Amino acid sequence: MLEMKFIRQNADVIQEVANQKRIQISIPDLLACDEKKRKLLQETERLRSQRNSLSQQISQLVQQGKKDEIAGIRDQVKGINEQLVAVEAALTVVESEYNQWMNLVPNVVSPDTPIGQSDEDNVEVKRVGEIPTFDYEFLDHVTLGEMHEMIDIPRGVKVAGTRNYFLKGAGLYLHRAVQQMTLDYLVERGFTPMDVPLIVRSEALDGTGFFPLGEDTTFKMADEGKWLVGTSEVPLVSYFRDEIVDVTEPIHLAAVSTCFRSEVGSAGKDVRGLYRVHQFAKVEQVLFCENDPEVSEALLQEITQHAEDILQLLELPYRVVAVCTGDMSQKTYKQYDIETWMPSRNAYGETHSSSNLHDFQARRSNIRYRDKDGQLKYCHTLNNTAVASPRILIPLLENHQREDGSVYIPKALRPYMGNKEALFLNNLTLK
């Protein structure tokens, strides 16, 4: 959420950003609604002040015993009350309209954010690692997973419908190993590890900027008014909702959680394999810091580097891209995506995302701190996907496969994989 004063001063810029982010909002209509709201508030205050003044007169007349003068004033108070009822009713309608508009206002974007319409317009920042070449017919992760009896998609579909799967044996170990390795990495760097609620109230999704525009991608609990989260960013940020926090040093939180997404709008897209599924797990970084663009920019670089370090530990080739306006969400000020090479796609596929939201989220969630002068300010918040599985299993299996069908295990993962150097077809257990 942006401050109304800022919206008034930057109306044209915000409208342009809304258009680029494909958000259906008219900033002029919002400003007109705001003006109407302010006039109704002024009228409400004027009428209440007038009523209070008349009530005091009545009290004084009663004390003076001048009861014959009271009736006329009471008639005036009655007339004012009738006006107040009408004005307050109009104000309620206008405030509802105003709140609907405000919930659609996008965050502004950083000066170095590329202008574009889709992920095709994202700008590559750098590439790391060598793309593998195969002098034999390589296998995709589904085939490898079936050969090693670690992925079962047909039974996942049988039990839960499309975009579902079972992981078993070494597949489950890999799934858990990348998460635990990542969590250990973050804890060593000062993050507080957390287990979080996966079912939240709508206020948590509103406050973090996932609603109202993300409702169609979120699973709702029947008759509960609650929702399954698509990222632990929601409960981690909401942990401090309506609180005053200490950000003398930035707050670093990390959660391992299951996540759920309905994938509405992706029918027919990425239907084979584990790239786009309804249920997955993430290790998420969430940071809170002072309201200083230089501080939050430095932290954005820091958490992005953490994700890069994880990929380097997994010995995977990847690239970092600056996300363009048309590929950004409503809440994002600046974003990097990290895409890992996936041989079966013959392309890089998104595996990580890193965002700086400035104070947009904190305003919606009412998370503040006191600056050195004791003044209350809204925090800056940031988030990053340190690792997401089973999507990360795609490049892990495909890039590290060998001609004999075995799969190399990166050194950093071996302590979590029974110290195995590779997964072999003639030995499908880690024992």
Kindly give, in sequence order, each residue whose CB lies less than 8 Å from that of residue 353, ignoring residues fewer than 6 positions away: 323, 335, 336, 337, 338, 384, 385
Distance in angstroms (rounded) separating the CA atoms of residues 206 and 398: 39
Q: The CATH number of the domain where 17 resides is what?
A: 1.10.287.40
**Do 134 and 197 fall into the same domain?**
yes
Please say whether the dihedral angle defined by the alpha carbons of residues 283, 288, 289 and 294, taken in this order, is positive or negative: positive
Kindly give, in sequence order, each residue whose CB lies less than 8 Å from that of residue 110, ignoring residues fewer than 6 positions away: 333, 334, 356
**Do 177 and 312 fall into the same domain?**
yes
**Do 173 and 50 fall into the same domain?**
no
Q: With respect to residue 218, please indicate whether it lies within any of the assigned structural domains.
A: yes
Q: With respect to residue 107, please indicate whether it lies within any of the assigned structural domains.
A: no
Distance in angstroms (rounded) separating the CA atoms of residues 329 and 333: 9
Q: Report, as residue numbers or ranges, the catalytic residues.
A: 261, 276, 350, 353, 391
**Do 344 and 390 fall into the same domain?**
yes
For residue 224, the model assigns a pLDDT of 80
Domain boundary among 48, 73, 102: 102
For residue 265, the model assigns a pLDDT of 60
For residue 431, the model assigns a pLDDT of 56
Range of the domain at 52: 4-102
Name the H helices within 103-169. Answer: 141-147, 153-160
Distance in angstroms (rounded) separating the CA atoms of residues 395 and 298: 29
For residue 264, the model assigns a pLDDT of 66
Q: With respect to residue 228, please indicate whether it lies within any of the assigned structural domains.
A: yes
**pLDDT tens digits along 24-57:** 999 999 999 999 999 999 999 999 998 988 888 8
Domain boundary among 102, 137, 165: 102
Q: The CATH number of the domain where 410 resides is what?
A: 3.30.930.10
For residue 267, the model assigns a pLDDT of 59
- Residue 208 has phi, psi (to 5 degrees) of -90, 0
**Do 18 and 137 fall into the same domain?**
no
CB-CB contact of 266 with 276 (8 Å)? yes
For residue 430, the model assigns a pLDDT of 65
Neighbours of 257 (CB within 10 A): 23
CB-CB contact of 354 with 305 (8 Å)? no
**Do 339 and 390 fall into the same domain?**
yes
CB-CB contact of 212 with 255 (8 Å)? no
Q: With respect to residue 351, please indicate whether it lies within any of the assigned structural domains.
A: yes
**Do 171 and 87 fall into the same domain?**
no
**Do 168 and 276 fall into the same domain?**
yes
Kindly give, in sequence order, each residue whose CB lies less than 8 Å from that of residue 297, ignoring residues fewer than 6 positions away: 334, 356
CB-CB contact of 131 with 111 (8 Å)? no
Q: With respect to residue 291, please indicate whether it lies within any of the assigned structural domains.
A: yes
**Do 304 and 365 fall into the same domain?**
yes
Domain boundary among 76, 102, 128: 102
**Do 49 and 149 fall into the same domain?**
no
Q: With respect to residue 50, please indicate whether it lies within any of the assigned structural domains.
A: yes
CB-CB contact of 114 with 325 (8 Å)? yes
For residue 427, the model assigns a pLDDT of 76
Q: Residue ranges of the chain with pLDDT lower than 50?
A: none
**Do 281 and 409 fall into the same domain?**
yes
Distance in angstroms (rounded) separating the CA atoms of residues 218 and 416: 32
State the chain's maximal CA–CA distance in angstroms.
107
2: helix, strand or coil: coil
Q: With respect to residue 127, please indicate whether it lies within any of the assigned structural domains.
A: yes
- Residue 78 has phi, psi (to 5 degrees) of -60, -45
Residue 7 CA: distances (Å) to CA of 2, 3, 108, 397 = 7, 6, 10, 48
Q: With respect to residue 72, please indicate whether it lies within any of the assigned structural domains.
A: yes
CB-CB contact of 173 with 181 (8 Å)? no
Q: How many domains does the chain have?
A: 2
Three-state helix/strand/coil letters over 213-263: CCHHHCCECCCCCEEECCCCHHHHHHCCCCCECCCCCCEEEEEEEEEECCC
**pLDDT tens digits along 268-303:** 667 789 999 999 999 999 999 999 999 999 999 999
**Do 87 and 124 fall into the same domain?**
no
289: helix, strand or coil: strand
Neighbours of 309 (CB within 10 A): 15
